[in-house]
Structure 1
């Protein structure tokens, strides 16, 4: 069963999985050309809705989001900021984003801290992005 994003997040419970949306694989190829990664480890695969969700948490509905901004700490973390339903605010208080690329020794979860510390810069023309409901262990 798929739920609206806020409801899926509210009902996610506590566990060891992540729920959110995967990027459409074909569109990902186009996005990588549109937004060339700055660092060698290209992630560019998903938007988190709820981390630490229970294994059987309902997934959010498929969405059309928009890439609206970008952040690069210059030290190995690059992320694209995503708006879903006209908001970048994730239910847990962080910002919807796609960890785009990482430098050596950096981890995807650091994107949240980089965005909180540095903010993000809006891009000139928001880019639609198809988001497919997904779960990760």
Structure 2
């Protein structure tokens, strides 16, 4: 099994964020931002703040919020920093990457600050 490196959302902010950005689909995920999967050296990131700057939604069961960390939305692997926000039945969080890549995302007028906790995750 691999390891994900990234950030967990601050649990004390999660409910406020869910109220501000209501989940569109049955299952609210809203728990982490991935930096990398199976990095050569799984090292925790140093950033502890980000900004929610936009949204992607395929209208068919995947909603993701785009996050800017360290001044960029671009992950080192070429994908986009995001939080899978909500999913319909039968959809998977990994599909957020495809939705953002294939459909793009809509920028918000004002970024929303986001506390981030560096973390290793095991699937």
Listed one character per residue, the Cα deviations across residues 115-136 of structure 1 (whole Å, up to 9, x for unaligned) are 0000000012110000100111
1:35 to 6, 18, 21: 21
Query: Where does the alignment leave 5 or more consecutive residues of structure 2 unmatched?
Result: none
Query: Where does the alignment leave 5 or more consecutive residues of structure 1 unmatched?
Result: 1-14
Q: How does 1:43-58 map to 2 (within 5 A)?
A: 43-53=29-39, 57-58=42-43
Structure 1 distance, partners of 2:57, 2:87, is 10
Q: Would you identify which runs of 4 or more consecutive aligned residues in structure 1 move more than 4 Å?
A: none
Partner of 2:76: 91
Give me the CA root mean square deviation.
1.2
Q: How does 1:1-137 map to 2 (within 5 A)?
A: 16-53=2-39, 57-137=42-122
Q: Is the 8 A contact 2:47 2:69 kept in 1?
A: no
Listed one character per residue, the Cα deviations across residues 62-117 of structure 1 (whole Å, up to 9, x for unaligned) are 42100000011001000000001111000000000000000010000000000000
Structure 1 distance, partners of 2:112, 2:84, is 16
**SS of the counterpart of 1:70?**
strand
The higher-RCO structure (CA 8 Å, 6+ apart) is 2
TM-score with structure 2 setting the length: 0.95
Structure 2 distance, partners of 1:66, 1:124, is 12
Higher alpha-carbon Rg: 1
Structure 2 distance, partners of 1:19, 1:29, is 23
**SS of the counterpart of 2:118?**
strand
Aligned residues: 122
